Structure 1
Amino acid sequence: MDKISRLPDELLVKILSFLPTKVAVSTSILSKQWDLLWMWLPKLDYSTRKYSESECTRAPIIESFSLDFLASQFKPVTIRSWLLTAVSRNLREVEVSHGCNNKVLNMLPSSLYTCKSLVSLKLNGRRLLVDVPRMVSLPCLKTFLLQDVKYKNEDSLQRLLSNCPVLEDLVVEGCKGDNMVKFIVIVPSLQRLTVNILEDLDEFVMNTPSLKYFKLDYYNYKNHHCLIKRMPKLEEAYVELSFNPVYIDRFIRSITSVKRLTLCIDDVYGDGFVFDQLEHLQLCTCDEQHTSGAVIVRLLKDSPNLRVLDLFKMEYHNPIGLYTWNQPSTVPECILSSLQTFKCSGYSGRPGERDLVIYILKNANHLKTATIWFPTVDMKKELVLSSRASNACQLVFD
């Protein structure tokens, strides 16, 4: 220990930073030299599973502060005081998780929403109230997560986001009774967006011209205001969508520049769209409304440069099954010139599925591999004996 103690304080703090917060704090009993060293740690992680209230009340100079509450022994005013102290110390990262109380708790200080140094803010808790003050300024915030929180009013989310001028990564996951009536995201700097909305909205607006990654899980069967601007830089999208076909068209129009697309929609979108950058398509064929065959045809026609076609079932969706396959009058360009990989999960041998697979094998001139999951012995024989346009195509059964 004497040799370690002779090291410079800066190096000792570096060593402590690799330890769990509670272990680092416990070193204060070693000697007077170690008494205050932990207070220079740039990152503190407090959890009610590990700490008592007295241990949490110390306030070092910090850059990262994490509070994880799985028990209800701490009063909101106590938690608020810790956050107030942390925010006053040039805080860069905050994470608050609270999921243990049936009562909605207002524990976030208003100063959190005007923290000039904050770069990352993560709020997680069904009963965590987001009460946004009139004055909001988060000039450095780049990462923002709002998961299972409750909003004070319907304008809270929009007011927050409109005051985050450099925001790059946003996650919004709703919960029942969260007071989210409007979803309005107008953030020119945003590059990654994950949205899961459980309640029907009155308004859905997106203007995110810099977006590169987009994940959306959204079901809304009522008429509502829906405006989605085109995302010209979009590279990857993962979308589960179910609502009025008019809104589906508006959404499809906004993502036509995407390169990798995972999609589940319950109706066919309209004519006039071209996915000229799309190379990798994963399409869910849960087929609740027996339209997936038509959706496949439309996407094949509209994706002239498609290289990978993957038919699968999203988690928790109904069993896979193409009930109908209406062969297009002309072979889509991508099948003739660019398709190299074809995958079909949960193959059941239904007429629609069988006809589609045989159609792909018969017409895909540049196909390299076709992978079919779970066919029976008889189904395998039928597919092996079917004609193939590409002599290089390998038929794989998993």
Structure 2
Amino acid sequence: MLESLMRKFTFLGLCIEIMTDAISLSKLSKLQRHNVGNMKDMISELPEGVLLYILSFLPTKDAVRTTILAKTWRYLWTHLSVFDFEVFCHQHGSKPKQKSENRLINQVDNLLQRSNRVERLCIKVRGTIDAQKATSLLSNTLLHKVPDLKLSIEIEYINDMFVLPNSFSASQSLNNLYLEFDFNLNIGDDICFPSLKTLYLSHICFVNEKSAQRLLSGCPVLQELTLFRCSLLNVKQINVAMSALRKLTIEGLGLGYPFHNCTIKFDVGNLLSLSYTINPAINFFLVNPTSIVDASIHLRHLYQQNEQLHIQSVIELLSRLSSVKTLSLSNYILQCLNYAKDTLHLLPSFDNLMHLDVFLDYFRTTNEALASILCKTPKLEVLHINKGSSLFFDEGWTSNSLPCCLKSSLKLCFISNFHGNEDEIRSVQFLLENATVLEYINIFCSEYLSLNLEELADVRNQLQHLGLGRRCIIKLQ
């Protein structure tokens, strides 16, 4: 092991010296004639900054192992600024698991006591750890003013309660926090994140309305918030004002038993980017959403028995996003709109929309909804269609009923997962004939088409024939 590490460091050290012109070509030639086993330990004589630069390329566990190399290396790893700990706690037998937990906690404590320059700390526990140990681990990191903290752990029992340490209220230096675990999370009265700018919560269950409200309200300068597959228990209403928030991502937000409707209101007067997966059981309201530039809206599943509820949620949310410049819609959203043909007139005109990203399904059920949206995007310049195997524009359009964006603004069209079937070829022809200012059509082949070279050549010839004499460039890749 020692010889292997020395070989790695010898190579890295030589590379650094070459880049900084620290050694001459003659010295390099001399070093190459010696075997690692009998050469002088020149790596340990390098300046500390260079040695730390070498260590920064290694995983934390390998950086810690360098303590056996020589006296110079004994505590060198503690002077790094980024650490990534990962430990596996055995699930069979309490003694091995407890030993792993204690070794992890002691290792982190040792690091924090010796170093005052930790900028980013990642701790991932594979296996299980009880809530009390997790609380202790988090408290220790906060006391040492770590600005960027990521903690990903599993729990001993699904009903374990994790109480956020009160030391959070004194954590003036914490800028980025990532928490991922299945604990039931309880938030105390005095919790506050005075300097927190990024908060990522994954698989966390808020046990009551107060906990969710306190946590989200206790971030006065938060700029980016992500809630990934989190749950709300006994939560009926949350009202949060986050004036500094610029990016909001909510995916898979659910309600625990007993099931009930929940209302969440975000007052986000300066929000720029929104990514939201709709849960019809949650009434999601955006207050002052006019600043949003980029929105991505998804529907996780579409159940026909809840069709009306889905439609209402989609229409209401899109109506608040009329000012966006970039919009991405999933295939379930388009299916939902297609079911609501009688209510499509309720959709707003997206007067500022310049980039539209849509995902079509394997059938034609979403194309009519897409056509309706195009009629409400007068300034659209870029259209990206990510599809299954169906793409077919409405042949019933007349010159007077064509969306105005086709005639006056659409310049770029991207089509992904292109199979080259008859409907798709006809859709490309439709675009060429009706999108009068279109400059480029970039087509990305499906895996099926890419592997069938003969069929690919035929599709390429058809597209080239369609493009003859036209100013629009068709690119198949």
**Which residue number corresponds to residue 212 of structure 1?**
272
Confirm or deny that 1:369 pairs with 2:440. Answer: yes
Look up the match of 2:122: 66
Distance 1:155 1:330 in 2: 52
The residue number in structure 1 matching 2:13 is none
> Contact 1:274–1:302 at 8 Å: present in 2 too?
yes
Q: Which structure 2 residues correspond to residues 38-53 of structure 1 after superposition, within 5 A?
A: 38-49=77-88, 52=100, 53=102
Aligned position for 2:368: 294
Residue 202 of structure 2 aligns with which residue?
147
Contact in 2 for aligned 1:148/1:178 (Cα 8 Å): no
Q: Does the C-alpha gap of structure 1 residues 119 and 130 become closer, same or farther in structure 2, counting only changes over 3 Å?
A: same
Q: 1:40-62 CA deviation, whole Å, 9 max, x = no partner?
A: 44333221149943354142244
The structure in which a higher percent of residues are helix is: 2
Counterpart among 431, 436, 447 of residue 360 in structure 1? 431
Q: Which runs of 5+ in 1 are unaligned?
A: none
Contact 1:98–1:128 (Cα < 8 Å) also in 2: no
Alignment of 1:122-201 (within 5 A): 122-125=178-181, 127-174=182-229, 185-199=240-254, 201=261
Structure 2: distance between partners of 1:385 and 1:5: 67
User: 1:203 offset after TM fit, Å?
Assistant: 1.3
- CA deviation after TM superposition for structure 1 residue 312, in Å: 2.0
What secondary structure does 1:302 align onto? coil
Indicate the residue corresponding to 1:327 in structure 2: 397
User: Is the partner of 1:286 in helix, strand or coil?
Assistant: coil
Write the distance in 2 (CA, Å) between the matches of 1:383 and 1:17. Answer: 51
Distance 2:164 2:291 in 1: 36
Cα distance in 2 for residues equivalent to 1:380 and 1:42 = 53
Matches within 5 A, 1:1-398: 16-29=55-68, 35-49=74-88, 52=100, 53-54=102-103, 56-58=105-107, 59=109, 60=112, 61=115, 62-72=118-128, 74-99=129-154, 101-107=156-162, 109-111=164-166, 113-114=168-169, 115-125=171-181, 127-174=182-229, 185-199=240-254, 201-220=261-280, 222=281, 225-241=283-299, 243-264=309-330, 265=333, 266-267=336-337, 269-271=344-346, 273-286=348-361, 290=365, 292-313=366-387, 320=390, 326-327=396-397, 329-344=400-415, 345-346=417-418, 357-371=428-442, 373=445, 391-397=470-476
CA distance in 1: counterparts of 2:121 and 2:253, whole angstroms: 30
Q: Give the CA RMSD over aligned residues.
A: 3.8
Kept in 2: contact 1:87–1:111 (CA 8 A): no
Letter in 2 for 1:276: D
- Over 3 Å counting, the alpha-carbon distance change for 1:109 and 1:363 in structure 2 is closer
| CA distance in 1: counterparts of 2:197 and 2:430, whole angstroms | 47
The structure-2 alpha-carbon separation of the partners of 1:92 and 1:349, relative to structure 1 and needing over 3 Å to count, comes to same
User: For residues 349 and 93 of structure 1, do their structure 2 counterparts lie closer, same or farther at Cα, with a shift above 3 Å needed?
Assistant: same
Where does structure 2 lack aligned partners over 5 or more consecutive residues? 1-39, 90-98, 256-260, 303-308, 450-454
Do the aligned residues in 2 keep the contact of 1:343 with 1:370 (CA within 8 Å)?
yes
Q: d(CA) in 2 for partners of 1:371 and 1:14?
A: 43
Contact 1:256 1:274 in 2 (8 A): yes
Measure, in 1, the Cα distance between the counterparts of 2:57 and 2:410: 49
- C-alpha contact 2:138 2:165 (8 A) present in aligned 1: no
CA distance in 1, matches of 2:232, 2:346: 37
* Distance of 2:238 and 2:420 partners within structure 1: 40
Distance in 1 separating the partners of 2:201 and 2:229: 8
CA spacing shift, 1:176–1:230, aligned 2, 3 Å: closer
* Structure 1 pair 21–359 and aligned structure 2 pair: CA distance change class (3 A): closer
CA distance in 1, matches of 2:161, 2:386: 43
Deviates more, 1:147-156 or 1:37-46: 37-46
Once the two structures are TM-superposed, the CA of residue 335 in structure 1 deviates from its matched residue by 0.9
Aligned residues: 387
Measure how far apart 1:175 and its partner are. 5.2
Distance 1:396 1:55 in 2: 54
CA 1:285/1:26 → structure 2, altered by over 3 Å: closer, same or farther? closer
> Structure 1 residues 239 and 31, CA, compared in 2 at 3 Å: closer, same or farther?
same
Q: Is contact 1:113-1:132 (8 Å) kept?
A: no
| CA distance in structure 1 between the aligned counterparts of 2:202 and 2:377, rounded to whole angstroms | 35
Question: SS of 1:57's equivalent?
Answer: helix
CA deviations on 1:147-202 (whole Å, 9 max, x unpaired) are: 11222223423321111111111111115787776565531111122211253652
Work out whether residues 230 and 255 of structure 1, in 8 Å CA contact, stay in contact via their aligned partners in 2: no
Structure 2 counterpart SS, 1:170:
strand
Q: Tell me the distance in 2 between the aligned counterparts of 1:76 and 1:172.
A: 21
Shift of 1:21: 2.6
Equivalent-residue separation in structure 2 for 1:178 and 1:46 (angstroms)? 32
1:10, distance to aligned residue in structure 2 (A) = 6.8
1:139, CA displacement in angstroms? Answer: 0.8
Deviations 1:190-226 (A, max 9, x none): 1122211253652132322222222122231x5x644
Task: Return the TM-score normalized by structure 2.
Answer: 0.68
